[in-house]
Structure 1
Amino acid sequence: MPVPSQPLEKLGFLTIGSFDGAHPRAGHETTLRVIELGERLGFDSAWVRHRHLQYGISSPVAVLAAASQRTSRIELGTAVIPLGWENPLRLAEDLATVDVLSGGRLNPGVSVGPPMHWDDVKGALYPDTAELEDFSYARVARLLALVGGEPASSFAGREGVVEEWSDRVQPHAAGLRDRLWYGGGSLGSARWAGAHGMNFLTSSVVKAEDGAEPDFAAIQRAQIQAFRAAHPLGDAARVSQGLVVIPTDSATPAQREKYAAYVAQRLPRTTAPQGPARMLFTADLIGTAEQIAEQLHAHTGFREVREVAFALPFSFADEDYEQILTDIAGRLGPALGWRPRT
C-alpha cells in the first residue's frame, strides 16, 4: 500500500440526518446519537447536511446546538448551509450563539446560488422580494463581515433605563470568522473562497468546466491548488475533502451485499458530466480499509488535503452507520496515518 507523504491530520464524517416524516423526532435523535458515537470513537469533527423541504435536517444550526450540549470535544460543522435561504444577519446571530454554547467548536460551511426549485419556493420564501434577492458571493461577504464583528447598525448605547444596544452581532464569537468554510466545486468558487480568507470544503462532486477532461481527481486537485494560491495563508490554508467511503472490514455478509448494491446504483452518474452545469460525480469508495486507503493515496485530490469529512451513505440503518464509523475510526483512519483524539 502506498505510504502518504504526510499523515492525515483531521478525520471527520458527514451525515444527512434523515427521518420519517410521520415520526421526525426519532431521526433527529439518531443524528445526535451518531454525533455522540463519533466523539467516543475519537473523530475530530461531525458535520450535518442541510436539506430544505426534504426528510433531512432543515435546521442544522438548531441540531448542532443540541449536539453541543451532548458532546464536549468534537467539532461541529455544516456542509453546507445554502445562503439563498438565509438572512445573513440572523444567521450570524444563530451561528455565534451556537459557537458560544459549544465552547468554540462550530465550523459553519456555506454556499451561494438560488435555492433549489426556486420557481416553486420563491413565493413562500421571498413573497415580496424574490426578484430583488442577491444570491451572489456578496451574500457570503455580508455573513463574513457580520460574524467578524463589523457594524450591523448605526446605533449603539443605552436607551431608556436598562436597554443596552450593540452595533454588532451579539454574542460576538471570537475566532468563528476563521472557522467559516465555503463549499465549492468550481475554480471560481475556490478562488473566491481563498481570496476572502475562508476555509474550503470539497465533496464528491465538482464542475467539469469548459475544456476540462472528465477526470474528477485532477479537477479537484486543480481547484484546491487555485484556492491556496488565492489564500493569504497559501499552502497552510485549510481544505477538507468529503468523499463517500464505506469500509466493510467488520460488516456482515448482508451489509456487504446492501452496500455493494447502493454503490452500484449510484455508479452510472459518475461516467460523464451531468446536466448543463457539467457536474461530475466520483464513485463511492467501498472495500476493506486497506483497499480504500490505497485508492485514496492514489487520488490526486486527496493528496492535496490534510483533513477529511467522509460522507455517510443515505438511508442506511443505525447499525450500518455504527459499523461504518467504527471501521473508519479504527481501521481506515489509522491506515491513513491518523490517530483518534481522546
Structure 2
Amino acid sequence: MPLPSQPLRKLGFLTIGLFDGDDPRRGHESTLEIIELGEQLGFDSAWLRHRHLQYGISSPVAVLAAASQRTRRIELGTAVIPVGWENPLRLAEDLATVDILSGGRVNPGVSVGPPMHYDQVREALYPDTADAEDFSYERVRRLLDFVRGKPATDFSGVEGFEVFSDRVQPHASGLGRRMWYGGGSLSSARWAGEHEMNFLTSSVVKAQESEDFAQVQLSHIRAFRAHHPDGDRARVSQGLVVIPTDGASPEQRAKYEEYARKRLPRTAAPQGPARLMFAPDLVGTSEQIAEQLYAHAAFREIDEVAFALPFTFDHEDYVQILTDIATRLGPALGWRAAG
C-alpha cells in the first residue's frame, strides 16, 4: 500500500476531450496537446474517456493513434470503451494496429452492458440484430480471445495471390496483458480477475455491501486480486477526481471550488436504482489532497492512479492542474517523474 514510505509507482490522468460541435478540431487538438504535455511532465500514462452521440471523444482509438505519433514514451489508455457499441473482432484489429504504431504503449480499458439510451439508438446501431445482441461479459471475453491471438476462423493459408491468417492481424504481442476492465461492482472485479485482466476502479461504485465509498472500493480491489492468478501483484488503477490549486489563480480556485460544491450532494447517499455511489472531488493544495488520499482505504491498497480531469474546464485549467499534479502532488505521494 502506498504509504509515505512506500511511494506511488505510476501516475496517470484521464480526460474526456470535450469539443465545440461547430469547431470539433480545436477540442481534439487540445486533447492531443494535453497528452503531449503529460509526457513532458513525466506522467506514466494518459487515458481517454469514451462518449457516443455527445461532444466528447467518440473514437478514442483513432485519437490514440494520433497521440502515438506525437509522443514516444507515455502509455496510452482508454477508460473505458463500452463494448456494447463495438464488434469485438474489429475492435481487436484497431487496438492491435494502434499498439503496433505506438511501440506497445496501448492500455485498452473496456466495460460491458447495453449502450446508453439503447431504446433510442438500437435501430441506428443494430437495425437487424438489436434483440439478439449479447451485452454480457461474453462480449469482452470474445475481445480478449481475439487480442490474445486465439483463432477467429478455421481458414488460413493461400488463396490465389492472397495469404490469410486464422487470427487477428496484426498480432500485437503483449497487448493481451495490457487489457483493463473498468468495473464498479464485486461481480465485475471478480470476473476481471478470473480472466487475467487489469482492473480500473473510478470515482463511481455500486453500494452493494456498504454505503462507505472507500470500503466498497477496497472490497472490489481485494476481490479482484483474490480471483487473479497474480494475487496481490495484479494491477489496479484508481481514478478519483483531484484538483490541486497550488498554481491556480484566485479565479481558477473559485471555479474549482464551485464545481466541487455543486457535485457534492450526489456523494451523500446511493443514487438511483443501481445505487451508484460517487466519491467527492478532492480540491485543495497538493499537501491537503495527499493527506486525504492517505486517509482513503482504497488508495492505500494500490500503487497506480489515473486521476480524472473535470469534464467542463478550459485548456489552461488542465495545464495548471496537470502541472501541479506532476510537480507537487505526485512527489507528495512519493512518485518520481518518468524519463
TM-score range, shorter chain: over 0.9
Determine which of 269, 274, 277 is the counterpart of 1:272: 269
**Within 1, Cα distance between the matches of 2:241 and 2:118?**
28
Shift of 1:4: 3.0
What amino acid is aligned across from residue 203 of structure 2 in structure 1? Answer: S
Q: How does the TM-score come out when normalised to structure 2?
A: 0.99
For 1:31, the equivalent position in structure 2 comes to 31
For 2:6, the equivalent position in structure 1 comes to 6
**Within 1, Cα distance between the matches of 2:42 and 2:53?**
33
**Within 2, Cα distance between the matches of 1:4 and 1:107?**
28
Give the 5 Å matches for 1:247-262: 247-262=244-259
Shift of 1:317: 1.0
For 1:101, the equivalent position in structure 2 comes to 101
For 1:22, the equivalent position in structure 2 comes to 22
Determine which of 318, 336, 339 is the counterpart of 1:339: 336
Consecutive unaligned residues in structure 1, runs of 5 or more: none
**Within 1, Cα distance between the matches of 2:57 and 2:46?**
14
**Within 2, Cα distance between the matches of 1:313 and 1:39?**
19
Number of residue pairs matched by the alignment: 338
For 1:315, the equivalent position in structure 2 comes to 312
Tell me: CA distance 1:3–1:186, structure 2 relative to 1, closer, same or farther (3 Å).
closer
What amino acid is aligned across from residue 240 of structure 1 in structure 2? Answer: S
**Within 2, Cα distance between the matches of 1:10 and 1:201?**
13
What amino acid is aligned across from residue 202 of structure 1 in structure 2? Answer: T
Consecutive unaligned residues in structure 2, runs of 5 or more: none
Seq. identity, %:
75
For 1:58, the equivalent position in structure 2 comes to 58
Contact 2:3–2:300, Cα closer than 8 Å, also in 1: no
**Within 2, Cα distance between the matches of 1:194 and 1:335?**
31
**Within 2, Cα distance between the matches of 1:286 and 1:7?**
22
1:190-240 C-alpha deviation (Å, 9 max, x unpaired)? 00000000000000000001xx33100000000000000000000000000
Partner-residue secondary structure (3-state), 1:4: coil
**Within 2, Cα distance between the matches of 1:4 and 1:139?**
40
Shift of 1:140: 0.6
For 1:190, the equivalent position in structure 2 comes to 189
What amino acid is aligned across from residue 203 of structure 1 in structure 2? Answer: S
Shift of 1:3: 4.7
Shift of 1:272: 0.5
1:89-141 C-alpha deviation (Å, 9 max, x unpaired)? 00000000000000000000000000010100001000000000000000010
For 1:222, the equivalent position in structure 2 comes to 219
Give the 5 Å matches for 1:119-158: 119-158=119-158
Shift of 1:5: 4.9
2:240 paired with 1:205: no
What amino acid is aligned across from residue 115 of structure 2 in structure 1? Answer: P
2:91 paired with 1:91: yes
**Within 1, Cα distance between the matches of 2:79 and 2:12?**
12
1:251-277 C-alpha deviation (Å, 9 max, x unpaired)? 000000000000001001100000000
What amino acid is aligned across from residue 98 of structure 1 in structure 2? Answer: V
Shift of 1:43: 0.1
1:40-74 C-alpha deviation (Å, 9 max, x unpaired)? 00000000000000000000000000000000000
Find runs of 4+ consecutive structure 1 residues off by over 4 angstroms: none
**Within 2, Cα distance between the matches of 1:174 and 1:3?**
34
Partner-residue secondary structure (3-state), 1:202: strand
Q: How does the TM-score come out when normalised to structure 1?
A: 0.98
Shift of 1:314: 1.1
Partner-residue secondary structure (3-state), 2:313: coil
**Within 1, Cα distance between the matches of 2:112 and 2:99?**
22
**Within 2, Cα distance between the matches of 1:5 and 1:226?**
25
2:298 paired with 1:301: yes
**Within 1, Cα distance between the matches of 2:119 and 2:38?**
38
